[in-house]
Chains A and B, each alone.
Chain A
Amino acid sequence: MNINMKTLLKSFEKIGRSFSSRALRLGAATRLFFLILIYSADSFKRIHLTIREIYFTGVMSLVIIIVSAFFVGMVLGLQGYYTLQKYGSSEAIGVLVALALVRELGPVVTALLFAGRAGTAITAEIGLMKATEQLSAMEMMAVSPIARIIAPRFWAGVITMPILASIFSMVGVLGGYVVAVPIIGVDEGAFWSQMQANVDFRFDVVNGLIKSVVFGIACTIIALFEGFDAPPTAEGVSRATTRTVVTSSLAILALDFVLTSFMISG
């Protein structure tokens, strides 16, 4: 009986410890976010640092974004046509492809790819900088690593994400067009005109952009924090990189639900 009580107590302890450590990490990540905001002014004085990071997160992600967007658009076109032609409204395929891309798939898939392509790179880079004590060396030289290393990466991610998301949506629509008009033979005029009649700039395109900005903030903060927080070992960095992908993906999908429910009700 006594032993049972002890094991029970131990398991509760475990739950409590995992909860408090998570709460601690969330608090530390929030603190990092505010530190970044405070040091942003300093980092904007050296804008070329941010531009360099936009190159590494944005330009280097361009190929994967364009190729996957094209395929996503083509698959949407094929699947949409399969269902719509049963109801004799295959001209609505343009609306389906455009709305699905602009409202949901554009921001979400871009953010997921971004977390895998750029987020992991950020975590590994910063984790390794920490492991090799480059960050402490900077502090010794009175250079704030947040202003010099963290903040430029943050702003690069926030700027890059909406750009990538709009590229994704546009390329995806072109992919849907390629399948629908030349291959299946939907009328071109109906394809574009139905799309224009049903996609609203403010309600669909702008809301998609807002989503991608929020995802950009979440993704980069998670990647930066995991890198900053990683134990200074090879194993620690590899685990932090894995956690970046898992946490960012979950955060993106959960935030997407919250944002969508606000946007639809509002």
Chain B
Amino acid sequence: MDKIKLDAWVGIFVSIGVISLLGLAMKVGNLTSNDIRETYMVTANFENIGGLKPRAPVKGAGVVVGRVNSIEFDTEAYHAIVSIDIDKRYVFPKDTFANIYTAGLLGEQYIGLEAGGEEKNLEQGDRITQTQDAVVLEKLISQFLYSKASEEE
């Protein structure tokens, strides 16, 4: 086979490879949808994080605005400290509310941010003070049973 034809075939081969990789990145993967590069980190304390995991999404009004960076346990206050990376394009006021929600009935857990009314915005290293823990199903059921029992008395 002559050299030019061979080069052409190899060129076609490599281009198909690159196209597939781009397809995997754009169409299959999430490189386009939530490409978060520049972020600022804030922390939030929770009494109970339920099944929240690192890299879980952080949503504002349902839109992914960031990701959970790390989760640590504070041995002094016995809290969970959750570090969140938020995209620099999105700013939230200082009195933003952080809740742990569950996507669907059995889905993954994520953090939902609800903006407050403060004029100053959250900055790198700030702490979200108002948080609401994950709903633990067992607690919910036992509360329901207790309230039922007290009704009947």
Question: What 18 new A-B contacts, CB under 8 Å, besides A196-B27, A201-B31, A209-B21?
Answer: A55-B6, A55-B10, A59-B10, A59-B12, A59-B13, A62-B13, A62-B16, A102-B24, A162-B17, A163-B13, A166-B20, A166-B24, A169-B24, A170-B19, A171-B20, A196-B33, A201-B24, A203-B55
Interface residues of B (CB under 8 A from A): 1, 3, 6-7, 9-10, 12-14, 16-17, 19-21, 23-25, 27-33, 55
Pick 11 A–B contacts, CB within 8 A, sort by A. A54-B10, A55-B10, A58-B10, A58-B13, A166-B17, A166-B20, A169-B24, A192-B27, A196-B27, A201-B29, A205-B29
**B13 near A196: Cβ-Cβ < 8 Å:** no
A259 and B23 alpha carbons, distance in the complex (Å): 24
> CA of A81 to CA of B6 in the docked complex: distance in angstroms?
42
Question: Is there an interface contact between B24 and A170, defined as CB atoms closer than 8 Å?
Answer: yes
Interface size, A (range): 20 to 34
Tell me what chain B mostly uses at the interface: helix, strand, loop, or mixed. Answer: helix
- A181-206 residues at the B interface, CB under 8 angstroms: 192, 195-197, 199-201, 203-205
Chain A positions within 8 Å of B6 at CB level: 51-52, 55
Binding site for B on A (CB under 8 A): 48, 51-52, 54-55, 58-59, 62, 98, 102, 162-164, 166-167, 169-171, 173, 192, 195-197, 199-201, 203-205, 209
Complex CA gap A162/B16 in Å reads 12
In the assembly, what is the distance between CA of A173 and CA of B27, in Å?
Answer: 10
| Bound Cα distance A234, B10 (Å) | 32
